[in-house]
Amino acid sequence: METQDPEPIFPHELRDAWPALSRDERVESFRLVPHATADDFFLSLSAQEQAALLLSLGPGERRTWLRLLAPDDAVDVIQGTPADLRASLLHELDESTRREVQALMAYAEDHAGGLMNPRFARVRPDMTLDEAISYLRRQTREKVETVYYAYVLDPQQQLLGVVSLRQLFQAAPDKRVADVMSRDLITVAEDMDQEAVSRVFAEHALMAIPVVDAQRHMKGIVTVDDIVQVVREEATEDIQKVGGMEALDAPYFDVGLLAMLKKRAGWLLVLFVGEMLTATAMGHFEDEIAQAVVLALFVPLIISSGGNSGSQATTLIIRSLALGEIRLRDWWRVARREVLAGVALGTTLGLVGIVRILVWQGLFHSYGEHAVRVALTVGLSLVGVVTWGTLSGSMLPFLLRRLGFDPASASAPFVATLVDVSGLVIYFSAASLILKGTLL
C-alpha cells in the first residue's frame, strides 16, 4: 500500500498557527511549505523566530536558510542565539558574508552601525549615466538587494553624493554622475543611537539613510524597514516599563513562566515595600483618624487622585522625551506648565469633591455638624495632592534621564506609590489646619 505524501501547507495558514505550535511542530510544518513560497515565509519571521527555527534544523538546511539573510539580518539572528552556538552559525556563512557579519557584530546592537546593511548600491562620480545603470544592474545581480538610491563614492570610499534611480533614467545618458548627483546629504554617524536614527527618518521621510564614520567613509545604509522594527521594539519596551515591569526580550508566549515572574516580581516587590510607607504614614496620623473617623472615608479618594495625576504626567513626559519633543533643558518650562495644570486639575476635582460632600450631607447627614470644614479639607487637599502628583510625575523622568537611566523606568505604578505617601501627609496636614478646634 502506497504512503501518501503529506499535503503542503501554505504560508498564510502556517503564519496564523505559528504562535501556538511547539518547536517540533514548527519544524515539521515549515518543511511542508512549498519551496516557491518558503523563502518569503522564512523572511517574514522575527529574528528570534528565525534563530529558534535554524537551531532546530540540520546543518545542511541551516546553512541554506542562514545564507538567505542579508548581513544585518544575519547579525540579528546570530545575536539571538546562545553565545556558545554563535561560532557554529558564523561558520555556515560564506567567507565574504562572514567578514561583513563579524564587522557588524562589533557595533552595539542599538547603534546605527548595528542596524545597517553593509551592502548598498555605489557608483563613481566620473561614470556616465549609462555606465552607472549597467554597473547598478550588475550589483543587484550579485549581492545588493535594496536599491533605493545609488551612493557616489570616491576611491577612498568617502561619500560624495547620492543619486536616485529616477535621476539616472531621466537625465541624458552621456551625462556624468557628478552632474546629477545631490550633494545635500542626510547621514547618520555609525555610533548614533537607534532612537535618534528613527527621528532622522521621521524628519526627512527617506527610504534609506547612509551611515558614515568620523572621516565620512560610508559604512552601510539603514533602511526604513529596519527602523520600523526598531520603533516597534522601543515602543513595546517603553510601554512595558511604564506598566511597572522589566521589558520582555521576546514575544509574550516565547517567554517562559519563570522568566516572566522574574521580570514582574522585582517591580512588584519595590512597589509593595513603597506602599508599606502608606501604612506608616497612616499610623503617624492615627490620633487624627481616631478623633475624626470621617477623615478615613476620603483617604482612597485623595491618594488615587494624586496617583492618577502623577501617572498621567509621567506618561506624557516619557513619550515626549522619547519622541524628542522635549529635552533635558526644557525641565523648567515643563515644571511651570505642570504646576499650572496641576492647580487647575486639582481645583476642578476639589470643587467636585466639595459639592459631593455637601449634597450628601444635605440629603443623608452623613458627615456631621462640621461637614463644611470636612468638605473644605477634602477640596484643599485635592488641589495640593494633584498639583504635587503632576509635578513629581513630570519631573521624575527628567531626573532619571539626567542620571543616565531610561526615563521609562519612571513607571506609572512607581509614581502612584510615591504620591500615595506624600498625599497622605498633605491631606492630614490640611485637616490639622482646617479642623483644629472642631473635630481635631
Which residue is associated with the grid cell 501627609?
A: 425
Q: Dihedrals φ, ψ of 423, to 5°?
A: -65, -35
- 304 & 425 share domain: yes
Q: Where are the alpha helices (DSSP H) in 205-327?
A: 224-242, 257-284, 286-291, 299-323
**Residue 15 pLDDT exceeds 90:** no
Counting DSSP H helices and E strands in the chain, the numbers are 20, 6
The whole-angstrom distance between residue 288's C-alpha and the CA centroid of its chain comes to 46
Report if residue 6 sits inside a domain: no
Looking at the fold, whether 260 and 350 belong to one and the same domain comes out as: yes
Q: Is the pLDDT of residue 4 over 70?
A: no
Q: Is the pLDDT of residue 3 over 70?
A: no
Q: What is the pTM of this model?
A: 0.70
In a domain, 117, yes or no: no
Task: Report whether pLDDT(23) > 50.
Answer: yes
DSSP-based three-state secondary structure for 215: coil
Specify whether the CB–CB gap between 373 and 439 falls below 8 A.
Answer: yes
* C-beta of residue 425 within 8 angstroms of C-beta of residue 288: no
Q: Are residues 288 and 412 in the same domain?
A: yes
**Structural domain boundaries enclosing 144:** 122-223
The mean pLDDT of 132-146, rounded to a whole number, is 85
For residue 3, is it within any domain? no
Distances (CA, A) of 286 to 3, 199, 290, 374, 426: 81, 53, 6, 17, 15
Amino acid at 313: A
Tell whether the model's pLDDT for residue 146 goes beyond 80.
no
Mean pLDDT across 366-379: 91
Q: Are 244 and 414 in contact (CB under 8 A)?
A: yes
The contacts found for 82-85 with CB under 8 angstroms, 24 or more apart, are 85/55
How high is the mean pLDDT of the chain? Answer: 88
pLDDT at residue 394 greater than cutoff 60: yes
Q: Are strands 208-212 and 218-223 parallel, antiparallel or unpaired?
A: antiparallel
- CA-CA distance, 69 to 61, in Å (whole number)? 13
Distance CA 282, CA 329 (A): 38
C-alpha separations of 170 from 216, 283, 356 in Å: 29, 80, 73
Average pLDDT over residues 289-298: 85
Residue among 117, 63, 70, 60 at smallest CA distance from 93: 63
Confidence of residue 1 (pLDDT cuts 50, 70, 90): very low
Q: What are the grid coordinates assigned to 426, written together?
A: 498633605
Higher pLDDT: 246 or 73? It is 73
Identify whether residues 275 and 348 lie together within a single domain.
Answer: yes
Phi, psi at residue 183, to the nearest 5°? -100, -5
d(CA 187, CA 211): 6
- Please state whether 286 falls in left (phi above 0), alpha (psi between -120 and 50) or beta: alpha
* CATH code for the domain of 216: 3.10.580.10
Q: Which of 223, 244, 275 is the last residue of a domain?
A: 223
Which of 203, 223, 243 is the endpoint of a domain?
223
Kindly tell me if the per-residue pLDDT of 340 is higher than 70: yes
Residue 420 shares a structural domain with residue 293 = yes
Q: Is the pLDDT of residue 332 over 70?
A: yes
174 and 147 in a common domain: yes
The 10s digit of each residue's pLDDT in 248-263 is 777 777 777 888 888 8
* H/E stretch holding 48: helix 47-56
Residue 5 lies in a domain: no
The DSSP 8-state label assigned to residue 438 in this structure reads T
pLDDT of residue 189: 96
Q: Are residues 140 and 97 in the same domain?
A: no
Query: Is residue 226's pLDDT more than 90?
Result: no
In this structure, the chain runs to a length of: 440
pLDDT computed for residue 59 by the predictor: 82
Q: Averaged over 295-317, what is the pLDDT?
A: 91
User: How large a percentage of the chain has pLDDT more than 90?
Assistant: 43
My answer on whether 98 and 155 are in the same domain is no
- Centroid of chain to Cα 155: 39
Mean pLDDT for 157-169 is 91
In a domain, 112, yes or no: no
**Same domain, yes or no: 83 and 47:** yes
Say if 4 falls within a structural domain: no
Question: How high is the pLDDT of residue 219?
Answer: 95
> Considering only 171-180, 302-311, 400-409, which range has the smallest mean pLDDT?
400-409
94 in the same domain as 62: yes
> Which range among 78-82, 251-255, 375-379 shows the weakest confidence by mean pLDDT?
251-255
- Give the contacts of 70 (CB within 8 A, at least 6 positions apart): 117, 119, 145, 146
What string of DSSP letters covers 348-401? HHHHHHHHHHHHHHHHH--S-TTHHHHHHHHHHHHHHHHHHHHHHHHHHHHHHH
Cα angle value 277/395/432 (rounded, 5°): 45
- Are both 85 and 160 inside the same structural domain? no
The CATH number given to whatever domain includes residue 48 is 1.25.60.10
Q: How many domains does the chain have?
A: 3
393: left (phi over 0), alpha (psi -120 to 50) or beta: alpha
DSSP 70-110: -HHHHHHHHHTS-HHHHHHHHHTS-HHHHHHHHHHHTS-TT
Output the domain CATH number for residue 274. Answer: 1.10.357.20
Please report which confidence band the pLDDT of residue 235 belongs to, taking 50, 70 and 90 as the band edges.
confident
Do the beta carbons of residue 99 and residue 143 sit within 8 Å?
no
Question: Quick one: pLDDT at residue 5?
Answer: 59
Grid coordinates belonging to 17 = 498557527
* Pair 143, 270 in one domain: no
Confidence of residue 410 (pLDDT cuts 50, 70, 90): low
Collect all residues with Cβ–Cβ distance below 8 Å to 285 and sequence separation of at least 6: 424, 428
Does 366 have pLDDT greater than 90? no
